[in-house]
Amino acid sequence: MLKRKLGLLVAAAVMVGMFTSCLNVNVNKEKENTPQGNGIDYTNYTGSDYSIKVRNESSKNVVCFKGAPVAGCTNLISGAVAQSGITGLKMNNTLFKTTEDFVLWVFTEDDYKAKKNDIDELKKTPFALIYAIYNADSDSNANMVYTISSKMGGESYIILNNPTNYNVELRQNGLYGESLAFAGANTVQTRVNVAFDDYYIYPVFRKFHKKSGEIVTCFPKEKNIDKPVYFEFSLSEGEGGQKSQEFNVGEWFDPNAFKDTTTPAAAYITITNGNKKTGISLYKGASSEAEVTSTGGKKINTGKTLVFEIPMTSTGNRTYSSTAKISGWKVGASVERGDVPEITVDAGKMYYLDVGGENAYEFPAVWRTTKNEANEDVVVADPVSYDEE
């Protein structure tokens, strides 16, 4: 009887360990004993075998999760070797089913191996947190690469407290700069270790806008001043040096008056391809590279639409324009293209560009218009609400 009880206790302990630690999932057994293996799958997946792509510019081998690690590490994707260029992370049909945004949790190989048997401890040591999206259109994911900054993993750190209902990124050097830290809605003490350096931080709010299929971006502005919230500081070692910086999103704006204390960071264009013969793309000026949407879209097939972001430009002295001028843009196939009519767009508005053509060599493009009370044609410009689904 005693042996039976002991056996049951051992079995129970094993079960508890299974539910509170990482099971041996998504590992590459062939590389288990190699310098770049250690039981972690560092394969650069391609074709239908990858889910999303990362560029690991840091000096650490990393392990990536779709969301915060859960019991058994069933949401572990795969890993990326330090400074190895672009890596396609493993496709897992259970994790990646539909188009959705998520937080990519990144851990160093050392932290993962040391703490994978204690999920709660592992979650305290993210190397990087990156706001990402998986697009069910696999071709779109090929156009998106999420960068793990070279600044990650230093001895100083940033702590971000976010008691609001909105996702927040901290970006370096401007509203459209490199993302250094991310905190989801209603989270506290999100800590990211960074290198000793000078920082020029702009916070931005980002949300996947399901209605348009685009990620909508806006930024908090200073109270009573039409300028974005901005922080400049230095993190340094040694006597008298500042090793950390902490932020509280709730201090930047009144959550109950969100729309009054933020500014749209972009305008948006819905392009509809009415050409009867070919798919089209959007090109800025003489660029040979087609524009890519925030969710990875690039080619607009016949009868389909895509939504593109038009960032507002810096006007100097930490201010951004509330309008942007579209001039010299083209739309069409890889060789033949038509002109996009010149227009000035307002931040926070959605514009509609309709492209026609009977064959693959002509692309008449017109801004969608409606009649006003004076029976005049005016360009349709619908507001884009950050809170709208």
Q: Model confidence over 349-384: pLDDT tens digits?
A: 999 999 999 999 999 999 999 988 888 889 999 998
Q: What is the pLDDT of residues 90-122, one digit of tens each?
A: 999 999 999 999 999 999 999 999 999 999 999
pLDDT given at position 3: 47
Region 298-324 average pLDDT = 91
pLDDT given at position 8: 47
pLDDT given at position 1: 52
User: Nearest 5°: phi and psi at 37?
Assistant: -110, -85
Q: What is the pLDDT of residues 316-345, one digit of tens each?
A: 877 889 999 999 999 999 889 999 999 999
Domain 152-264: which CATH class?
A: mainly beta
| C-alpha count within 13 angstroms, C-beta hemisphere, residue 20 | 9
Cα–Cα distance, 212 to 210 (Å, whole number): 6
Q: What is the pLDDT of residues 160-185, one digit of tens each?
A: 999 988 899 999 998 899 999 899 88
Q: What is the pLDDT of residues 198-228, one digit of tens each?
A: 999 999 999 888 888 889 889 888 877 778 8
Long-range CB contacts for residues 225-230, cutoff 8 Å, separation at least 24: 226/263, 226/319, 227/318, 227/319, 228/175, 228/202, 228/263, 228/318, 228/319, 228/320, 229/202, 229/203, 229/253, 230/200, 230/201, 230/202, 230/318
Query: Does residue 299 carry a pLDDT above 70?
Result: yes
Mean pLDDT of the chain: 87
- What are the structural domain ranges in the chain? 24-150, 152-264, 266-383
Q: How far is CA 134 from the centre of its chain?
A: 10
- Predicted TM-score (pTM) of the model is 0.83
